[in-house]
Every structure is written in structure tokens, then in C-alpha cells.
Amino acid sequence: MSLKSTYKTVEEISEGLYKEKGSKFIAYAVACYSEDEAKVFIEQWKKEHHQARHLCYAYRFGVNHDVYRANDDGEPNNSAGIPILGQIQSFDLSNILIGVVRYYGGTKLGVGGLITAYKTAAKEALESAIIVEKEIFEWVKLKFQYSDMPSVMSYIKQKSLEIQKQIFENDCEIVLNLPLNFKDLFKADLEEFSTLELEVLGIY
């Protein structure tokens, strides 16, 4: 099976809203690339909506959609997180987090009502989003001694690679994102640099 070279996600954060029997469901959809990054967004939304009863969410990461989670945050089992995840799957998205904040309106909606509410709020956020197709890269960190810096930088410039992050001290670090069809050649070429170590950060 050949590795996919692109995936779909949202370009920027988008919102959705669903109201039912006094309860208000506010959904946020945002591009997200790791569980740690998801935690930051979730904590931020909790602070912004500290009076809300629930903040349920779902995310999906990875080239093959193999990292995912659905969280009900105290709602009945599978009444919130799974419907949110279902919308991510329906839109065929990856590297995305959707959180739905619920303000309770005083009337219970029942499991069926909750499923509809969380699903619809998530759907509204995605329908209002700009969905983009992105190329998948392998992200790597290069570590090397300062003495190798001119040669490494010359190679990076020669291959027109884009540096995402750099630290130039006695021990140097550079973070690059490599096109998937170039990564094997790149790794072979780097063997000529005596002090260089390569760490793969992930594929996304």
C-alpha cells in the first residue's frame, strides 16, 4: 500500500453553534498535530468557558488516521465524543481537534438529543471552516557541531529545503520538513557530515 502524500484539515479555527431546550452547544474546530497540542487548546477553552457544564471533544492525527480519541467529559457514554469524531470521519479530515462546550439549559435532552446536539454543533463548525489539502512531510531535527554548520547550511540551501527552527551555538539544531519522496536520499546524503545526528519527529 503506497503512503498517502496529502491530507485534509481546517485552515484556521472555525466555530459552530447549536441550541436545544435552553442548552447551548458551541463547537470549535482547529488544526492540531499532537495530543500535547490538543491539551493546550482544551485548557484554553475551559478557561474561556469556565461556567460551562461540559467540554467534550474528539481528535484524529496521522497519515493513516491511526491516532484518535473521543471524550464525553461526564455526558452519558458515547453521546458526545463519538458523534464529534463521526463528523471528523465524515469530512475525511486528519490532524484536527474539535471541542464542543455545553451550557446546560435546565432541561435534560436524553441520549438521543445529546447525540444530535454534539453531532450538529461539530458539523456546523466544519461547514463554516475553510478545508484545505496539505502535503504530508516528514519532520526531522538535525543536531551537529558548529564546525559542520557551513557545510550543512550549504546543503540545505542547495536542496531548497525550508528551515522551520534553528539554534546555532556550540551544539547546533535545525528542524526541517522533508517531502516524503526526498527523505531517503536526504538521509543518505547526510552521512557525509561527521558530527550530525538525525532525529525523526513525525510524519504529518
Q: Which residues contact 171 (CB under 8 A, 6 or more apart)?
A: 143, 144, 145, 146
| 4: pLDDT strictly greater than 90 | no
| 2: pLDDT strictly greater than 70 | no
Categorize the per-residue pLDDT at 200 as very low, low, confident or very high, splitting at 50, 70 and 90: confident
Amino acid at 94: S
Out of 3.30.70.240, 3.10.129.10, 3.40.50.720, 3.90.1170.50, which CATH number does the structure's domain 137-203 have? 3.30.70.240
C-beta of residue 144 within 8 angstroms of C-beta of residue 198: no
CATH 3.30.230.30 in the chain is located at 6-134
pLDDT of amino acid 79: 98
6-134, superfamily in CATH?
Answer: Impact, N-terminal domain (3.30.230.30)
pLDDT of amino acid 62: 83
Alpha helices (H) along the chain? 35-48, 81-90, 110-127, 149-158, 183-189
The larger pLDDT score, comparing residue 193 to residue 31, is at 31
Pairing, β 6-10 against β 131-135: antiparallel
| 92: pLDDT strictly greater than 90 | yes
CATH 3.30.70.240 in the chain is located at 137-203
Average pLDDT over residues 25-35: 95
68 C-beta neighbours (distance < 10 Å), count: 14
Distances (CA, A) of 32 to 9, 19, 38, 60, 191: 9, 26, 6, 9, 33
User: pTM of the full predicted structure?
Assistant: 0.80
Q: Which residues contact 176 (CB under 8 A, 6 or more apart)?
A: 139, 140, 142, 156, 161, 162, 163, 164
| 15: pLDDT strictly greater than 70 | yes
